[in-house]
Structure 1
Amino acid sequence: MSTVTGAVRTAESTPVLARTLTVVVIGSIMAVLDVTIVNVAIHPLATAFGAPLATIQWVATAYTLAVAAVIPMAAWAMGRFGGKRTYLTALALFIGGSAATALAWNIETLVLFRVVQGLGAGLLMPVGMAMVIRAADRERMGRAMAVLGIPVLIGPVSGPVLGGWLIDAASWHWIFLINLPVGVVALVLAARLLRSDVTRQARRLDVPGLLMLSPGLALLIYGLSTGGERGDVTTPGALLPAVAGLLLIAGFVARGLTARHPLLHLRLFRNRTFAAGIATMTLFPAGYFGSMLLTPMYYQTTRALTATESGLLGIPLAIAVGVSMQIATRRIDKASPRVTIVSGIVVAALGLSLFGAQLGPDTPYWRLCAAMLVMGAGVGMVMMPANATATRTLAPDDVPSGSTTLNIASQIGTSIGTALMSVVLASSVAGATDLSQRAAAFQHTYWWAVTLLALAGVPALLLPRRRRSAGASTPASESRPRSAPVDPENAAPVEGR
C-alpha cells in the first residue's frame, strides 16, 4: 500500500490528484486481481460445485454482462450524485458481492452474487478514471494515467499465482474473501480522502436511452460469448441475441444524436482526437485480449502445462506491459501521441507475429517468452497513452461521458476479439489429429489477432502528431461541439495534428 502511495506522490504534484489516485489505484487493483484470480479458478469451481464447465463459465459471463449493463449509467450517476458518492457505492457493491459470493451455497447463488460484484466493478473504472481526469493538470495527464495503470502491472502478474495458491492451500472461498481487506481499505480511504464534489448538472436520467443501451450491450456481449463458446456465431442462440443487441445499440445512437439530454454525449465524436482514440481502443483490445484467451489454452492443451505453470509463463508479458506503460504514458505529455501509439501498435503486432510464427509442440519456452516481451513493450505504449490522448481535450463536464464511452468501447472490442478467436480456433482445431496439427491451428488463429492489432493503426494515424502549447489556436476539427460550450477557466489545452 505504501508503494502505491509513494508512486502517486512522486508522480503527481497536487494533493487532490494524489489523494484521488491513491484511492482509485487501490480500488482498481482489487477489481483486476478478482478477474485474474477467477480466470484460473474455473476448473476448481466446477469440481467444487459438481457442475459442468459450460455452467461454471457463467461465473465469468454473468460478471461481464453485469459490468456491460451498468457502465452506461456511470456518467449520469456522477452528474446526479457526484463522483465520490458514486465511487463509494461501487466499492460497497463490489465488497458486498465478494462477501456474498464467498458464502454461496450452490451454483445459482454463486452466479447471482457475481452479478452484484459486476455491478460494482462496472462503475469503478469509468468513475475512477473520470475523477482522476478532472483532478489532473492537463499538462500532466500522461503521468496521472501512468499511475492509474499500476493495477495493470500488479494484477496479471500476481493474480494467477495468488489464485492458484489460495485454491491449493485453502479453498475456493478465499479467492473472493481476499477482496474484503483490500476493499475495506479502499472504502475507508475513499470516504476520507476523496473530495465531496458538487454535482455540475442534475439532469434527468435518459430512461429510454438506458433501456436501449444497457440491454443492447448485454445482449451483444452474451451473443458473442455464446458464439465463442460454441465455436459458431451463426447458431440461433448466439446470432439472435447479438443482432438484437446491435439493433438496440443502433436505436440508442439514433436517440443520442437527437435527444436534448442523452445518456451519453455522442456529439463528442465530432472531436477528431476523441473519435480516433475510441476507434483505436476498440480494435486494439480486440486483438490483444483475444490473443490472451489463446495463450493459456495453447500451453495447457498443446504443451500439457498446468494452470499455474501457464500463469507463470505469462509473467514476462505482464511485466513488459507494466514497465512500458509507465514509461510511455509519462512521456505522452511531451512526446507525439501519434508516433508513440502507432509505434506501439507496430511493436505489439511484431511481437505477436514472432510468437505465432514459431508455435509448435516443442518450441522452447524462452523463445515464446521473448516474443511476448516484445509484444508487451508495444501494448504498454498503446493502452493508457491512447486513453490519456483521447480524454485530454474534453471539457470537465464531458469527462464522465467520455470516460464511460471509452470503457464501453473497450468492453465491446474485448468481447468481439475473444469471440472471434474462439470461433476461429474451434474451426481450425476441429480436424487436428496430433499435437503438430493442434499447434498449427493455434498459429492460424494468432494471425487473426495480429490483423486486429494492425487495423488499430488506421485510426491511430488520425491522432495528433504533436502537442500544441496552451495558448495555441484550436483547429476546427478538434473543437468541442457547440451544444456544450467550454468553460474558459477549465478548458483543456488542445492537441494539434
Structure 2
Amino acid sequence: MRTLMSTRTATAKPPAEPIDPETKRIALAIVVGGLTVILDTTIVSVGLRDLASSLDTSIDTIQWVSTAYLLAMFVSIPLAGWAQSRVGGKRLWLAALTVFIGASALCAVAWDAPSLIAFRALQGLGGGIMMPLMSTLVMQAAHGKNLGRIMAAVSLPAALGPILGPVLGGLILNDLSWQWLFLVNVPLGAIGLLLAWRMLPAGERGRRVSLDVVGLALVSPGVVAVIFGLSRVADAGGFGQAQVLVPVIGGLVLVAAFAVWGLRRGDEALIDVRLFRHRALTMSSLLLFLTGIALYGSMLLLPLYWQEVRGQDALGAGLMLIPQGVGALASRGLAGRLTDSVGGRWVAVGGFALMAIGTVPFAFSTEHTNEWWLGATLVVRGLGLGAVMIPLMTGAYVGLQRHEMPDASIVTRVGQQVGGSFGVAVLAVILAAGTTGAASTGDLAGAFDRAFWWATGFTVLAAVLSLLLPRPERSTAQAPAR
C-alpha cells in the first residue's frame, strides 16, 4: 500500500505554476484597451439603419461605415510587427489606442455619411495595429509559461464583445443619440490609456529593420482586395460576378507574390512567411480561418433570425444572444487550464463539437420554436466558442522565439478575419437565395435553416481538422522566449 501511494505521488502532475504578477498587470492593461476595439465593432453593427436614417443616406452607402473600418484595419495589421520593432510595444500600443480614441470622437461629430466613413477608416488604422499587438505583448511577457490561462484572459474582449456590444448598442439607440455609439469608446479608452501607461513595461525596441516597402505594397492591398471582393458577394448576387472575382483573384495574386518575395527576403520581409514551417502555427491559422467562418457567419445569421423570423427589434435580438456570450465566458477558464495541462488538440475538438451541437437546433427551428430551448442551445454553442479560441490562439505560439511572435500574431489575426469575411459572404448568399424562394412559399424559417446547416458543416470540418494539431504532450511545450 505504501509503495502504491508513493508511486501515485511520484507520477502525479505538479500543481500549475502561478502566473507572474507582472504578466497579470500587462494582461489587464491590454484587455481594457482592447475592449474598446471589440465593442466598437459590435455596437456599430446594430446601428446601421439608424445611422442611415439620421444622416439621410441609403443602407448601401452607410454599409461603408463598417466596410471602410474593416478594410483600413487590414492596411495597418501587416505593419504591426515592423512598427513594434521600431518604436517598442508600449509606445506603439499607446499611439494606436490614442488614434482609435481620437477617431471615435471625430466619428461623433461627423456631419454626413462621407465624413463618418472617413473617420471610421481612421479608427480602423488604429484598431488594426492593436488587434495583433494584444496577443503579442502578453505572449512575450509570459515567456512561454501558462499560455492557455493567459490567452483565456487576453482574449476576454472577444468574448465580451458579442454579449455587451449588441445590448449596449440597442440601449444607446433606444435612449440616446447615434453619436453615443462612438462616444462610449472615449471614457473606456481613456482608462485603457492610463492603465497601459502605468502597467506596460517600456521594453526593448528589438531589431531596427528597414520597412519592407515592396512587401507592404503587395500584402496590404492584396488582403484588402480579397476582403473587399468578399464583402461584395451579397450585393452582387454570388461569387461568379466580376465585381467579386476581379478583386478576389487580384488580391490572391498579390498575396502569392508576397509569399514568393517573403521567402527570398527571409526575416527582413514585412511578415516572415517561413514561420509556416511550424506545424502548430499553420494548423492554428487554418482552424482560426474556419473559426472565423463559424463565428462571424453566425453573427450575421443569429441576429437576423431573431429579427426576421421571430420579430424582435435590435435590442431584443441583442438580448436573445446573451446566453451564447454567457456560455463563452463560462468555458474560458477551464479551457485555458486544460490547454496548459493536457494540450490543445482535444480541447479544440470538444469545443468545435459543442459549437456544432449548439447550432443544429437552429437548423430545425421555425417561428414557433420555444425560445427557452433555443436559449439553452446558445449556451452550449457559447461554451464551445469560448473553448476553441484558447487552444488555437495558444497553439500558434508554441515553439516560436520572442522576435517571431509579432508575425505569428499578424498571421493568425488575418486568418481569422479573412475567414470571417468568407463566412459572412457564403452564408449571406445562401440566405439570400433561400429568402428569394421564401417570397413565394412564405417559408422564411426554411431559408435560415439551410444557412444554419452550412454553418454547422463548417464547424464539423474544423472539428475534424483539429485532430491534426500537435499531440497533447507537445502542445504545452514551453516556447523559448529569447
Matched residue, 1:163: 169
Pair 432,395 (structure 1): closer, same or farther in 2 beyond 3 Å: same
Partner letter of residue 388 of structure 1? T
User: Do structure 1's residue 76 and structure 2's residue 82 form an aligned pair?
Assistant: yes
User: Do structure 1's residue 277 and structure 2's residue 277 form an aligned pair?
Assistant: no
1:164 Cα deviation from its structure 2 partner: 1.6
Matched residue, 1:245: 251
Matched residue, 1:476: none
1:323 to 326, 330, 353: 330
Q: Is the CA contact (8 Å cut-off) linking 2:159 and 2:386 kept in structure 1? A: no
Map 1:93-492 → 2, pairs under 5 A: 93-260=99-266, 261-356=268-363, 358-433=364-439, 437-468=443-474, 490=481
Misfit runs of 4+, over 4 Å: 468-472
- Secondary structure, aligned partner of 1:259: helix
Partner letter of residue 461 of structure 1? L
- Secondary structure, aligned partner of 1:467: helix
Matched residue, 1:62: 68
1:268 Cα deviation from its structure 2 partner: 1.1
Distance 2:476 2:295 in 1: 34
> Which stretch of the first structure deviates more once superposed, 371-380 or 146-155?
146-155
Distance 1:193 1:267 in 2: 33
Distance 2:231 2:197 in 1: 37
Q: Is the CA contact (8 Å cut-off) linking 1:88 and 1:187 kept in structure 2? A: yes
Q: Identity of paired residues, percent?
A: 38
User: Do structure 1's residue 45 and structure 2's residue 39 form an aligned pair?
Assistant: no
Distance 1:119 1:444 in 2: 36
- Secondary structure, aligned partner of 2:396: helix
Q: Is the CA contact (8 Å cut-off) linking 1:65 and 1:222 kept in structure 2? A: yes
Q: Is the CA contact (8 Å cut-off) linking 1:149 and 1:325 kept in structure 2? A: no
1:6-58 CA distance string (max 9 Å, x none): xxxxx963232122111100011111111111011111101101111111111
Partner letter of residue 271 of structure 2? L
1:71-90 CA distance string (max 9 Å, x none): 11111111111111111111
1:168 Cα deviation from its structure 2 partner: 2.0
- Secondary structure, aligned partner of 1:382: helix
Q: Is the CA contact (8 Å cut-off) linking 1:256 and 1:263 kept in structure 2? A: yes
For these two proteins, the number of residue pairs brought into alignment is: 466
- What residue ranges of structure 2 are gaps of 5+ in the alignment? 1-16
Pair 468,445 (structure 1): closer, same or farther in 2 beyond 3 Å: closer
1:211-230 CA distance string (max 9 Å, x none): 11111111111110011234
Matched residue, 2:6: none
1:129-180 CA distance string (max 9 Å, x none): 1000000142311111111122233322222121122222120111111111
Matched residue, 1:482: none
1:408-443 CA distance string (max 9 Å, x none): 111111010001111111112112136852111110
- Computed over aligned residues only, the root mean square deviation of the Cα atoms, in angstroms, reads 2.0
- Secondary structure, aligned partner of 1:334: helix
Distance 2:167 2:291 in 1: 26
Q: Is the CA contact (8 Å cut-off) linking 1:273 and 1:462 kept in structure 2? A: no
TM-score by length of 2: 0.93
Distance 1:468 1:431 in 2: 50
Distance 2:314 2:235 in 1: 19
Distance 2:446 2:42 in 1: 27
Distance 2:306 2:441 in 1: 12
Distance 1:433 1:100 in 2: 42
Q: Is the CA contact (8 Å cut-off) linking 1:230 and 1:423 kept in structure 2? A: no
Partner letter of residue 97 of structure 2? L
1:305 Cα deviation from its structure 2 partner: 1.2
Q: Is the CA contact (8 Å cut-off) linking 2:230 and 2:425 kept in structure 1? A: yes
- Secondary structure, aligned partner of 2:438: coil
Distance 1:471 1:365 in 2: 44
- What residue ranges of structure 1 are gaps of 5+ in the alignment? 1-10, 473-485, 492-497
Q: Is the CA contact (8 Å cut-off) linking 2:343 and 2:474 kept in structure 1? A: no
Pair 469,449 (structure 1): closer, same or farther in 2 beyond 3 Å: closer
